[in-house]
A and B are shown apart, each in its own frame.
Chain A
Amino acid sequence: MPPASDERPQWPDGAKCIAAITVDWDGHSLEVGRDLEPVGIRAAGGYSARRGVHRMLDIFGRHEIAATFFVPGYDAEQHANGVRELIAAGHEVGAHGYTHESGVLGREEEQELLERSHAILSDVTGTPPVGWRSPSGRKTHWTTSVLRRLGYIYESSDKDYERPYPTVVEGEPSTEMIEFPNNTLGPGLDDAPLWTAGVAPYEVLDLWKAEFDAIYADEGYFVLTFHPRAGFGTGTPARAHVVDELLTHIRAHDGVHFTRFDELARWCLEADHGFLDPPARIGGRP
């Protein structure tokens, strides 16, 4: 249970609420990883690199915010220049699988793919990524140990809490890695289930504003996850406009601190900020 307000951990800048805008690139990697040819209706991932990412860069630039992009290794190989543009614009690039592998893999195969994507992103951006988000939100008991060994300081896949907490590594809460829970399949702050269910852009805007308002009044931990692709994503004009309007709404509130995840992770890993010592044991166990 969240503690009373005087025991709450402190956000950076003395902020009342942090806002982390996270974008999962999810280009053709998603279809390729499922052995589907990315053609016809299965070509929606191509929209990310052609249009969606640039539209997001434009929106973020106008609102002067820095975001975190999670990019599958395969997409980074295909669009190395596009990924470098993200870095040049001040955004963070985190890892998100090689071909968006979404099943539970054998230990060796999983490790090999995590290492391969890590090497690709390090090479393309010139800096090793420090964060990871599971493609399709799956993890195994050993995923976080591999990530920690590669130097990652956060991961963002679990749906079980409403503020950062120590990542469970080798079955124990880590003091070197922070968990940023995000709400994906839950019909709140991930675009894919909403667009897939036929929810209209104006309804999504209403929902995201309502989610933000409730979080602003409560835990102060707002994490939005969306995709710049077409299909289940938010890259197309009317949907991207929802992001634009939402950012306008958020920025009209006092005390909101927009953050990249890598910056927030470094903040949360400093013991005196209170995130390493949650009120109860949080996170998965066998």
Chain B
Amino acid sequence: MTADVRWPDGARSAVAVTVNFDGESVERTADPDAPQWGRFSYGRYGAQVGVHRLLDLFERSGVAATFFIPAWDAERHPDVAERVVAGGHEVAGHGYHHEDFSALDIEQQRDVLKRSEQGFERAFGQRPAGWRAPDGLMSAETRSLLAERGYEYESSFPDDDLPYVVATEGSDRLVELPVFAGASDHHYYRAHRLPAVVERAWQDEFDAVHRAGGLFNLTLHPRGDYGSGRAVRIGPIEALLKTVARRDDVWVATCREIAAHTLATAAGAPLPA
């Protein structure tokens, strides 16, 4: 068992602001034959409208976020890719085309990761250091595969309050950054909850995680349907970021920074994958 990670500078809890850039690849994967119009254009809304709203908000809040981006979407929208990097945010993997990794065998997964990394080289001039499973779906081998390919962290498992080091075959350097539906937007908006309700829910979630000393892994989407891209949905995020900023005992960091800190301070044996 690893000893629990301690946050830097005496912080009581940590916050990662993350964005799953679920763009047009989501609609194309869901129904490859459906023309990308009408009800199949919410991913495009994310790229044309929503992501810019989130970037504007992060800019005025001084937050460095982590964007999990399918490489196909990054290449389709070079203006978005450029603005995300220029804003000082981290970019990390999220499939090539938002694939369901639980439905792929290990060779197929390896191939998708390779194509995603190549897409990142073209779109961002760098490989991703981190990864989050599209829709959180993966197989038992996926984390070993990520470790083998040199990823530093993974963020899909809702199985701990704190980040931990995963022991995979041939590596003990992959960090897991747990993630929870209660700290996401789509969990509420898919159920048609009101922004005011989401605002309250996030405040309660954050307060409780802070008291427990954990990682609040806020998960947002720029989409117009289940995401936070609409003007009315910026309010709850802004309110949460203000609450966080008012406290001097919260460490706000990118996923890569949190993973590096976890690895540097983790004592004891890593958890088996």
Q: Which of B33, B36, B38, B231 contacts A219 (CB 8 A)?
A: B231
The distance in angstroms between the C-alpha atoms of A280 and B51, with both chains bound, is 15
The distance in angstroms between the C-alpha atoms of A161 and B41, with both chains bound, is 9
Contacting residues, chain B, for A183 (C-beta < 8 A)? 224, 230
Do the beta carbons of A188 and B232 come within 8 Å of each other? yes
Q: How many residues of A contact B (CB 8 A)?
A: 43
The reply on B240 being an interface residue by CB < 8 A is no
The reply on B192 being an interface residue by CB < 8 A is yes
Q: Which of B34, B49, B79 contacts A104 (CB 8 A)?
A: B34
Q: Which of B37, B52, B195, B232 contacts A157 (CB 8 A)?
A: B37
Do the beta carbons of B49 and A161 come within 8 Å of each other? yes
The distance in angstroms between the C-alpha atoms of A137 and B35, with both chains bound, is 11
Do the beta carbons of A284 and B231 come within 8 Å of each other? no
The reply on B127 being an interface residue by CB < 8 A is no
Do the beta carbons of B192 and A197 come within 8 Å of each other? yes
The reply on B172 being an interface residue by CB < 8 A is no
Do the beta carbons of A159 and B34 come within 8 Å of each other? no
The reply on A244 being an interface residue by CB < 8 A is no
CB-CB under 8 A for A136 and B44, given A186-B224, A187-B189, A214-B235: no
The reply on B181 being an interface residue by CB < 8 A is no
Q: In which size bucket is the chain B interface?
A: 20 to 34
Do the beta carbons of B38 and A157 come within 8 Å of each other? yes
Instruction: Type the 1/0 row for B186-204, where 1 means its CB is closer than 8 Å to any CB of A.
Output: 0001011011100000000
Residues from 226 to 253 in B contacting A, C-beta threshold 8 Å: 226, 230-232, 234-235
Interface of B is mostly: helix
Q: Which of B44, B194, B235 contacts A160 (CB 8 A)?
A: B44
Q: Which one of A21-29, A42-50, A204-212 is at the interface?
A: A204-212
Contacting residues, chain B, for A184 (C-beta < 8 A)? 39
Do the beta carbons of A139 and B231 come within 8 Å of each other? no
The distance in angstroms between the C-alpha atoms of A215 and B33, with both chains bound, is 34
Instruction: Type the 1/0 row for B6-45, where 1 means its CB is closer than 8 Å to any CB of A.
Output: 0000000000000000000000000001111111111011
Instruction: Type the 1/0 row for A139-182, where 1 means its CB is closer than 8 Å to any CB of B.
Output: 11101000000000000011111100000000000000000010
The distance in angstroms between the C-alpha atoms of A194 and B49, with both chains bound, is 23
Do the beta carbons of B224 and A158 come within 8 Å of each other? no
CB-CB under 8 A for A210 and B195, given A139-B38, A159-B42, A159-B45: yes
The reply on A117 being an interface residue by CB < 8 A is no
Contacting residues, chain A, for B194 (C-beta < 8 A)? 203, 206-207, 210
Do the beta carbons of A215 and B41 come within 8 Å of each other? no
Contacting residues, chain A, for B36 (C-beta < 8 A)? 284
Instruction: Type the 1/0 row for B209-226, where 1 means its CB is closer than 8 Å to any CB of A.
Output: 000000000000001111
Contacting residues, chain B, for A158 (C-beta < 8 A)? 37-38, 41
Shortest C-beta distance, B188 to chain A (Å), equals: 9
Q: Which of A2, A162, A193, A283 contacts B192 (CB 8 A)?
A: A193
Contacting residues, chain A, for B41 (C-beta < 8 A)? 158-160, 181, 284
Contacting residues, chain A, for B49 (C-beta < 8 A)? 1-2, 160-162
Shortest C-beta distance, B147 to chain A (Å), equals: 37
Contacting residues, chain B, for A1 (C-beta < 8 A)? 48-49, 52, 79
Contacting residues, chain B, for A210 (C-beta < 8 A)? 194-196, 232
Shortest C-beta distance, A281 to chain B (Å), equals: 9
Shortest C-beta distance, A142 to chain B (Å), equals: 9
The distance in angstroms between the C-alpha atoms of A143 and B38, with both chains bound, is 11
The distance in angstroms between the C-alpha atoms of A215 and B79, with both chains bound, is 24
Shortest C-beta distance, B231 to chain A (Å), equals: 4
Contacting residues, chain A, for B231 (C-beta < 8 A)? 162, 214-215, 217-219
Highest count of chain A CB atoms <10 Å: which of B38, B44, B48? B38
Contacting residues, chain B, for A188 (C-beta < 8 A)? 224, 230, 232
The distance in angstroms between the C-alpha atoms of A283 and B48, with both chains bound, is 9
Contacting residues, chain A, for B38 (C-beta < 8 A)? 134, 136-139, 157-159
The reply on A185 being an interface residue by CB < 8 A is yes
Q: Which of B48, B225, B232 contacts A185 (CB 8 A)?
A: B225
The reply on A282 being an interface residue by CB < 8 A is yes
- Give the residue name and chain of the A residue nearest to B80 (CB): A1
Contacting residues, chain A, for B44 (C-beta < 8 A)? 160, 283-284
Contacting residues, chain A, for B37 (C-beta < 8 A)? 134, 138-140, 143, 157-158, 284
- Give the residue name and chain of the A residue nearest to B224 (CB): A186
Shortest C-beta distance, A135 to chain B (Å), equals: 10
Contacting residues, chain A, for B224 (C-beta < 8 A)? 159-160, 183, 186, 188
A-B contact pairs, 17 of them (CB 8 A): A1-B49, A138-B34, A138-B39, A157-B37, A157-B38, A158-B38, A159-B41, A160-B45, A185-B225, A188-B232, A197-B192, A206-B194, A210-B194, A211-B232, A214-B231, A215-B231, A284-B41
* B residues at A contact (CB < 8 Å): 33-42, 44-45, 48-49, 52, 79, 189, 191-192, 194-196, 223-226, 230-232, 234-235
In addition to A141-B35, A214-B235, 6 A-B residue pairs with Cβ atoms within 8 Å of each other are A136-B38, A139-B37, A160-B49, A162-B231, A187-B225, A207-B195
- Shortest 5 CB-CB distances between A and B: which pairs? A137-B39, A139-B37, A137-B38, A214-B232, A214-B231
